[in-house]
């Protein structure tokens, strides 16, 4: 039996209320860098496609229309530079978060099963395991689990680039996880939603590795799933445009359940998604905006004597006190007194860092950088 709602962990952002009150006392106003929600306009190519498809009286396909699934396959070939998944190995999801939360249940996990999640990760990985009645295990190296614990594992979650740290897993690291999992018949699900936002080499030039890359899986997607999203790369978080791709033998049963549940992406949104996948210019323009904001905040923190770890990709800086003398809550409080709200690392399993979003407006980021640098 799964978890009752009353047994779920508290929603982490509710605990930011005291810090928000401190930030509100700043004479120049509050700057919220605690969430990764896009603030720039959704590209015209996306909004126009949505409007043109607005007359949609019929039910859409749960898995997605054939042109859209073909476009996702082309995305893997042209953008990710990997072999496209089979057509039967692609299905749409209503954003990526709902799949992170539901995948353990959809795979049939229950009491006695275990899900390996990154040691520092977005809270929903843990919640998804708990909802299925399974035990979440935080570990970055599954091969280091004891034999007894390893025997309970049925799913391993990867997140590269990571939220919150921005760390990117190499081909060798991904290959090692796949090898370990296949020796035990364990499913590996890789959340790759931040892949378009790589800032450091070699990832900025070569691209972020995917679990669907033959260099990782030897040309065999058995037991592997990749989660993709357009929320960040296309400023369309409100559209809930995402997908699951990989092993058709895993996708098929999941799709059958979702058909029964009516989990269908609206037809106009599918049209918008198709348009977004067909245009890389808006992606590059948004990358340049984020790059400029990232540079401002990076320079401000380092000027103020703080260290930034990982942060190779994604929408966040992973910041800590250079001397290790402040906890995550200390840092959250310090920034709140500057009128800046961030997410403490305790939300993700780390007590020494804060996650700082680069998604605020140019004006807000410039003001935040000035306050930090002058502190």
pLDDT at 6: 56
- pLDDT digits 0-9 by tens, 323-349: 988 999 999 999 999 999 999 999 999
Residues facing 156 on adjacent strands = 116, 188
Domains of the chain, earliest start first: 5-41+282-373 (3.90.1150.10), 44-279 (3.40.640.10)
Q: Which residues contact 265 (CB under 8 A, 6 or more apart)?
A: 60, 64, 92, 93, 94, 240, 241, 273
Q: How confident is the model at residue 198 (pLDDT cuts 50, 70, 90)?
A: very high
pLDDT tens by residue, 128-167: 999 999 999 999 988 889 998 999 999 999 999 999 999 9
**Which residues does 307 contact at the CB level (< 8 Å), separation at least 6?**
301, 319, 320, 321, 322
CB 149 within 8 A of CB 126: no
Contacts of 255 (CB under 8 A, 6+ apart): 62, 63, 91
Q: Compute the radius of gyration of the chain from its Cα atoms.
A: 21
pTM summary value: 0.94
| Span of 13-17, 71-75, 145-149, 344-348 with lowest mean pLDDT | 13-17
CB atoms within 10 A of CB 18: 11
CB 65 within 8 A of CB 87: no
Position 192 scores a pLDDT of 98
């Amino acid at each position: 039996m799964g978890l009752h709602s009353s047994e779920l962990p508290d929603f982490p952002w509710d605990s930011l209320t005291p810090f928000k009150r401190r930030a509100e006392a700043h004479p120049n106003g509050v700057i919220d860098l605690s969430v990764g929600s896009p603030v720039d306009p959704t590209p015209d190519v996306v909004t126009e496609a949505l409007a043109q498809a607005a007359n949609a009286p019929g039910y859409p396909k749960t898995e997605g229309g054939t042109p859209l699934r073909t476009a996702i396959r082309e995305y893997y070939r042209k953008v990710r530079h990997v072999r496209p998944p089979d057509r039967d190995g692609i299905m749409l999801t209503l954003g990526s978060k709902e799949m992170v939360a539901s995948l353990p249940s959809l795979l049939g996990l229950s009491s006695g099963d275990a899900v390996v999640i990154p040691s520092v990760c977005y809270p929903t990985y843990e919640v998804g395991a708990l909802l299925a009645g399974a035990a979440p295990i935080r570990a970055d190296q599954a091969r280091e689990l004891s034999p007894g614990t390893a025997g309970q594992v049925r799913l391993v979650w990867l997140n590269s680039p990571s939220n919150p740290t921005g760390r990117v897993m190499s081909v060798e690291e991904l290959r090692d996880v796949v090898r370990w999992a296949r020796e035990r018949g364990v499913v590996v699900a890789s959340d790759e939603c931040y892949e378009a936002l790589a800032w450091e080499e070699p990832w900025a030039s070569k691209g972020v590795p995917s679990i669907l890359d033959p260099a990782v899986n030897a040309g065999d997607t058995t037991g592997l799933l990749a989660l993709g999203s357009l929320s960040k790369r296309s400023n369309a978080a409100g559209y809930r445009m995402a997908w699951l791709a990989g092993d058709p033998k895993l996708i098929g049963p999941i799709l059958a359940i979702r058909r029964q549940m009516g989990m269908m992406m609206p037809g106009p949104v599918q049209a918008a998604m198709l348009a977004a996948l067909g245009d890389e210019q808006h992606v590059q323009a948004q990358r340049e905006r984020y790059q400029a904001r990232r540079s401002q905040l990076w320079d401000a923190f380092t000027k103020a004597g703080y260290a930034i770890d990982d942060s190779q990709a994604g929408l966040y800086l992973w910041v800590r006190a250079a001397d290790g003398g402040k906890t995550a809550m200390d840092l959250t409080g310090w920034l709140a007194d500057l009128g800046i709200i961030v997410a403490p690392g305790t939300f993700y399993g780390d007590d020494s860092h804060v996650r700082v979003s680069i998604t605020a407006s140019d004006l807000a980021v410039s003001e935040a950088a000035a306050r930090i640098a002058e502190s």
